């Protein structure tokens, strides 16, 4: 198995996050949360582009038409990165101006799940929300500090969620039809010596891949046994998220950040903030769930 991360593009993000593989357009999308930017890169042509939103963006999901829905610091919005347009949908936390959206994804039924957090990282200030096909928003979990990586099992019976400061990857019973979750429990925890769990994805074998913030790695875990299966070293301390891409979904894209690093640390980590890829990893990922309308 190839475990060597390569640089995709020399562009460096302050807080690179939220990679999404767009299999229809054969491109990787990722964000700079704090700069409010959505980046895109086409591996076939090596074309790179950026849309500046003018506000913080926590995550984006694909729609069937190729456009995006973003979870921003001020709610959900339609985004067309090709036309460079944005249209507000709704904001469930307009009464909490210090909060912003962070990580999120669509579930197997096409609902958009996204969590919030305090911009000052106030404990228990965040919540998890679900945007449905009618653009109605429902709250699912409260008292989160840094709502982060999430994934669904292949049988659509289990939902996984990370609240970063807990170091835990939690599992919930998930009902596909209703979109409800229950029976929260810890699947496994990241050792303190290995940093903090950040973003996450799942592969076709049901194993979870976790990015380690302050941990220099991406790790693969069996959520049923809690066993760590492998670690991919990354030449950057703050590893933020990962997702599978490429035509066969066997390339692992990895986002990183240089937020909070001193000048001395950046000298030792000149690639901090870059997007990396581990090619031909021999484990297949799953295509991203897209937002669906009824």
Q: Is 17 annotated as a binding residue?
A: yes
Residue 287 lies in a domain: no
Q: Is 100 annotated as a binding residue?
A: yes
CATH number at residue 230: 2.120.10.30
Residue 199 lies in a domain: yes
Q: Is 198 annotated as a binding residue?
A: yes
**Of 192, 97, 196, 99, whose CA–CA distance to 149 is shortest?**
196
Q: Which of 22, 32, 163, 198 is catalytic?
A: 198
Residue 67 lies in a domain: yes
Residue 1 lies in a domain: no
Domain coverage including residue 238: 6-278
Provide the residue-wise pLDDT of the chain in tens; the chain has 294 residues. 668 999 999 999 999 999 999 999 999 999 999 999 999 999 999 999 999 999 999 999 999 888 999 999 999 999 999 999 999 999 999 999 999 999 999 999 999 999 999 999 999 999 999 999 999 999 999 999 999 999 999 999 999 999 999 999 999 999 999 999 999 999 999 999 999 999 999 999 999 999 999 999 999 999 999 999 999 999 999 999 999 999 999 999 999 999 999 999 999 999 999 999 999 998 999 999 999 976
Residue 110 lies in a domain: yes
What are the φ/ψ torsions at residue 134 (nearest 5 degrees)?
-95, 10
Residue 135 lies in a domain: yes
Residue 97 lies in a domain: yes
Q: Is 65 annotated as a binding residue?
A: no
- b/e per residue 42-53 (b: at least 16 CB within 10 A): ebeeeeeeebeb
- pTM assigned to the model: 0.97
Does 248 participate in catalysis according to the annotation?
no
Q: Based on the structure, what is the number of domains in the chain?
A: 1
Element (H, E) at 38: strand 37-42
- DSSP lists the bridge partners of residue 87 as 78
Residue 294 lies in a domain: no
């Amino acid at each position: 198995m190839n475990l060597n991360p390569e640089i995709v593009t020399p562009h460096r993000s302050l807080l690179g996050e939220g990679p999404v593989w767009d299999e229809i357009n054969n491109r990787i999308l990722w964000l700079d949360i704090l700069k409010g930017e959505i980046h895109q890169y086409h591996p076939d042509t090596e074309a790179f582009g950026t849309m500046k939103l003018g506000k913080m963006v926590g995550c984006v999901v694909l729609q069937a038409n190729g456009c995006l829905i973003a979870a921003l610091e001020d709610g959900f919005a339609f985004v067309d990165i090709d036309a460079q347009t944005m249209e507000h949908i709704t904001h469930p936390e307009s009464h909490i101006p210090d909060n912003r959206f962070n990580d999120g994804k669509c579930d197997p039924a096409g609902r958009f799940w996204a969590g919030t957090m305090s911009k000052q990282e106030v404990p228990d200030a965040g919540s998890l929300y679900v945007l449905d096909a009618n653009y109605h928003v429902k709250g699912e979990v409260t008292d989160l500090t840094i709502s982060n990586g999430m994934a669904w099992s292949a049988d659509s019976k289990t939902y996984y969620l990370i609240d970063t400061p807990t170091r835990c990857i939690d599992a919930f019973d998930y009902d596909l039809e209703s979109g409800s979750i229950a029976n929260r429990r810890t699947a496994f925890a990241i050792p303190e010596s290995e940093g903090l769990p950040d973003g996450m994805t799942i592969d076709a074998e049901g194993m979870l891949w976790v990015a380690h913030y302050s941990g220099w790695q991406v790790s693969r875990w069996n959520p049923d046994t809690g066993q760590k299966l492998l670690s991919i070293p990354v030449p950057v301390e703050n590893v933020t998220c990962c997702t599978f891409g490429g035509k066969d979904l066997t390339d692992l894209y990895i986002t990183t950040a240089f937020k909070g690093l001193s000048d001395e640390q950046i000298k030792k980590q000149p690639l901090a903030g870059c997007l990396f890829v581990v090619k031909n990893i021999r484990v297949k990922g799953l295509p991203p769930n897209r937002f669906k309308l009824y």
